[in-house]
Chains A and B, each alone.
Chain A
Amino acid sequence: MREFVIGLVGTPNTGKTSVFNALTDRTEFVGNWPGVTIERKDGIKDAVYDGEDIRLKIIDLPGIYAIGSSLTEERVAFEFVLKEKVDLVLTVIDGLSIEKSMFLTMQLIQQGLPMHIVITKKDLLGINGIDINVNHFSSLLKLPVSLVDTRDKKDAKLLVEAVSRSCFERPVSSLSIKYDSRLEYWLSEKEKEFAHIELSSDVKRTLFLLLFQGDEEFFSLYPLEIAKRKKLQEEIDRISRDIGKEPDIYVAETLYSYIDDIMHRVKKGKETLTITERIDNIVLHKVWGLPIFWGVLFLMFWLTTSFGGVFIDFFDSIAGLFAVELPVAFLSSLSAPGFLQTFIMAIGSGIQTVATFIPIIYILFFLLTILEDFGYMARAAFVADRSLRSLGLSGKAFVPLLLGFGCTVSSVLATKTLETKKEKIISIFMAPLMSCGARLPVYVLFASMLFPRNAGLVVFSLYFVGIILAVGTGFLLKSTLFKGKISPLVMELPPYHLPKLNYVLKVTWIRFSSYIKRAGIAITTAVFILTLLNTIVINKDGIKLEPESPDSILIKTGQAISPVFRPMGIEKDNWPAVAGLFTGLFAKETIIGTLQSMYASEDTSAQTVGDVAEDNPLSLAYIGKSLLESFKQLGRDILSLIFSVEDESLENSGALTRVKNLFTPQSAYAYLLFVLIYSPCIATIAAISTQMGKTIAAATAIYLTLLAWILATLFYQLATMESPLWLATTLALILFLIGGLFMAGRRRPVMEE
């Protein structure tokens, strides 16, 4: 079977993804391009052409407005069609605004690649009073052109045929774009001068034309040629003087003179954006713009946390049954060795943790896709841009930061939409400081125990401190490690368009499944290790395995390092509070469970390890009962969402009242500060590492844990005035931290993307 590689190119917001979906049967690969956090999708279509079975491999390249290397996306797309063996370039043009895609199309034609053009939105042309003469367009560009409505099955079929034909015929446009004779002469001279570089003359011409416009992609591909840079620059300056125009303007003007001529001949009518106008007059209104922006973001936040939250227990119990309970019961029925059971249980717990994130992440991706597809995402960035600039962020960063209040994992994932690495890193450092939903129960418990009169105020103050610290962190990073100007904003505000459910579901599924695959492994591994540490007990009788034992390595470590927390008011006999911080790495809300069981075990030293199953877990009756219980709980959760039943599952068991005796108000608030700031949970760390790599993930965890200790201690010492020494130490550490960042920033070259 013959396989053809097709590069799918086009400007953003042209319906490139809908062409991809219409053309492909299945997506073979979803991941990132090497070295950058830009999504790459490859799709497969098996077709028959002329009686022969063929396979089309369609690579969805990042959306770009021009060929070059100014942006990461541009470089990825450009280098792909340059270096890889592409059988056909499929260029997508938006039927409603052809002109927007023409600059890129003309540049691709200049590169002399085999090319086929798809014009989308056939169904909308008539309604908007636009008429495109496709045959004329095709004969002017000297390339095959298909006009399609991607949702029409018949059109999709015809498109597959047309594209298959082009794969065999490899149509290369004979349209030649002529520049000033002096420039043309220089370009041909350079082809000869660099004859040792093995590229087609068209591609060489493209590279030197880019160099003429000030784009140095040529040197990044051939670093050895950098010696000739000065000479080339002098030649370019001379030509530019002779022509009497600056190079970049001259080239753009020449291309646009061709484009205007073509547009004039093939397109009648202009898109009237009445609907878009009307919506924008409301959502970008001077007065209403901001409240609407907040409203949309709040709705998104509410849906992700509440609506997604409803399913968490359900997924948790189902996964617990099938990944932990049943396998372990099965193994014990075979009387398998204990360590094997522990291993399986640990892996199961990891899978269970991943499962609890499924609903939140799926809903988040679903909403992000809808907002993006509808066109509001760009507007949100437009509205928010001004207020985030002082933190070195663009308007797009608002969404991830707000989502942080729901779940830090979703917040980290949403940084995907940001353009530059610098912005992604700054947002990722800020995100964990937005108190996620898991931290709230901890705040509420302590506040209600120790500040019964002002519980609400205490919880609010923690949220507020988090925001202040996030802003401070952003500002600090921007002015030290990530100096330099924020990347300029040139953002299209696309026409609104009603999202199609099946399209949204498909895109969501592609993104979601690729994330679960990548992060699932990382989360499972981390939970696996922590679970083992929480199970292995080493004492004078040797090594034992005991699930969630108060003597496990993890807890013992907690006890051993509890002196570290002494300066923030955690006394030696309050070691469970320290152990809780360790188990809090699973998920912040587990702090409560740990405190409860530890205080209880201290109280009575009676073990209340797991309720013994009455039935055999492997019997159908038991599985049925468990499933039924899960569904009942789901029903209750959904009802509580609708009728907002207060379902605070904080049973004030006797054990938890010990919090009152072991903490003073000062130490309790210091502890809460620590819980607010310290390292995010492992699911978040895994998410950061899949997005930005292990280094950034580790740096985030370390920075936040240090900051947590410093600030919690500082607060406690200020509140109690216990020891001037510790007070001085923390103040010195803060200065040291800030100073260190400034020093590091001074050594670092300014980051320009």
Chain B
Amino acid sequence: MGRKKHGYGGGRRGRLAGRACCVEPSADFSDDIISISSLREGERAVVVGFSGQMGPYRRKLLSMGFIPGTEILLKRRAPLGDPVEIQVRGFNVSLRKEEANVLLLRRTA
């Protein structure tokens, strides 16, 4: 399970498109910020913010309730490894790993 490098700058530091910082409470970009790709099946994480720019995909995730502070659970990967199924706010959504790397997460114990 190596970490893949994606165009979105998965996890480390997204392009903030010249905007104000997007990450919640004074989070420093420490190593505990991860992306969906590095979650294992059955692991939980909390959304801490988004990398990348505003746009339809981000609005869609936000409208479904992926907002900072929301806990998500990676339920399973598809048989071919991608997409993944995520549980958020009591319902299940499937996302492609590469696209969903705009979500910045922190593992919860």
Contact = CB atoms under 8 A, between A and B. Distances in A.
Nearest to A210: B59
Given A99-B89, A214-B54, A493-B94, A249 B79 contact: no
A237 B57 contact: no
Contact of A247 (B49, B54, B81, B99): B54
A491 interface: yes
Interface string A232-262: 0000010011001111110111001000000
24 contacts: A65-B63, A66-B59, A70-B56, A71-B56, A97-B91, A214-B59, A237-B19, A245-B22, A251-B62, A280-B76, A285-B79, A287-B79, A289-B79, A378-B94, A385-B78, A385-B96, A386-B80, A386-B83, A488-B99, A489-B96, A489-B99, A490-B57, A493-B92, A494-B92
A490 B61 contact: yes
Interface string A181-209: 00000000000000000000000000000
Nearest to A752: B56
B32 interface: no
A386 B59 CA distance: 24
B27 interface: no
Interface string A501-528: 0000000000000000000000000000
A386 B78 contact: yes
A240 B53 CA distance: 14
Interface in A205-229: 213-215
A490 B95 contact: yes
A68 interface: yes
Nearest to A292: B79
B60 interface: yes
Contacts of A104: 63
A284 B61 CA distance: 23
Interface string B74-109: 001011111101000111111110010000000000
Interface of B: 19-22, 49-50, 54-65, 67-68, 76, 78-83, 85, 89-96, 99
Nearest to B19: A246
Nearest to B20: A241
B37 to A, nearest CB: 14
A385 B21 CA distance: 34
B93 A491 contact: yes
Contacts of A293: 79
Interface of A: 65-66, 68, 70-71, 97, 99-100, 103-104, 213-215, 237, 240-241, 244-249, 251-253, 256, 270-271, 273, 280, 284-287, 289-290, 293, 378, 382-383, 385-387, 488-494
A244 B58 CA distance: 18
Contacts of A240: 19-20
B19 to A, nearest CB: 6
A493 B80 CA distance: 17
Contacts of B99: 488-489
- Closest 8 CB pairs between A and B? A70-B56, A66-B63, A289-B79, A252-B62, A386-B80, A214-B54, A493-B92, A488-B57
A249 B83 contact: no
Given A244-B20, A280-B76, A488-B99, 19 more contacts: A65-B60, A65-B63, A104-B63, A215-B56, A240-B20, A246-B19, A246-B54, A273-B92, A286-B79, A287-B79, A382-B94, A385-B83, A385-B96, A488-B60, A489-B83, A490-B95, A492-B93, A493-B85, A493-B93
B22 to A, nearest CB: 5
A249 B63 contact: no
B20 A252 contact: no
A289 B20 CA distance: 44
A240 B50 CA distance: 15
Contacts of B19: 237, 240, 246
Contacts of A244: 20-21
B56 to A, nearest CB: 3
Nearest to A65: B63
Given A213-B54, A246-B19, A382 B78 contact: yes
A68 B59 contact: yes
A249 B58 CA distance: 9
Best-buried of A240, A253, A378, A386 by chain B (most CB within 10 Å) = A386
A214 B55 contact: yes
Contact of B82 (A287, A386, A490): A386
A110 to B, nearest CB: 13
A494 B92 CA distance: 7
B79 A248 contact: no
A290 B79 contact: yes
B99 to A, nearest CB: 5
Nearest to A241: B20
Given A240-B20, A385-B83, A271 B90 contact: yes
A490 B64 contact: yes
Contacts of B90: 97, 99-100, 270-271
Contacts of A493: 85, 92-94
B67 A252 contact: yes
Nearest to B77: A286
Contact of A248 (B62, B92, B96): B62
B78 A489 contact: no
A204 B68 CA distance: 28
A489 B95 contact: yes
A322 to B, nearest CB: 49
A653 to B, nearest CB: 50
Best-buried of B22, B68, B90 by chain A (most CB within 10 Å) = B90
A414 B82 CA distance: 24
Contact of A284 (B57, B78, B81): B78
A284 B75 CA distance: 11
Nearest to B55: A214
Best-buried of A246, A273, A285, A385 by chain B (most CB within 10 Å) = A246
Contacts of B94: 378, 382, 385, 489-493
A48 to B, nearest CB: 39
Contacts of A491: 93-94
Contacts of A247: 54
A99 B65 contact: yes
Contact of B67 (A70, A241, A249, A386): A249
Best-buried of B55, B80, B91, B96 by chain A (most CB within 10 Å) = B91
A531 to B, nearest CB: 48
Nearest to B54: A214
Contacts of A214: 54-55, 59
B22 A382 contact: no
Contacts of A492: 91-94
B49 to A, nearest CB: 7
A248 B58 contact: yes
Contacts of B60: 65-66, 70-71, 488, 490
A100 B91 contact: yes
A107 B19 CA distance: 25
Contacts of A287: 79
A70 B22 contact: no
Nearest to A94: B91
Contacts of A494: 91-92
A248 B78 contact: no
A103 B80 contact: no
B63 A252 contact: yes
A293 B80 CA distance: 12
Contacts of B83: 382, 385-386, 489
Nearest to B89: A99
B63 to A, nearest CB: 4
A317 to B, nearest CB: 45
B93 A490 contact: yes
Contacts of A271: 90
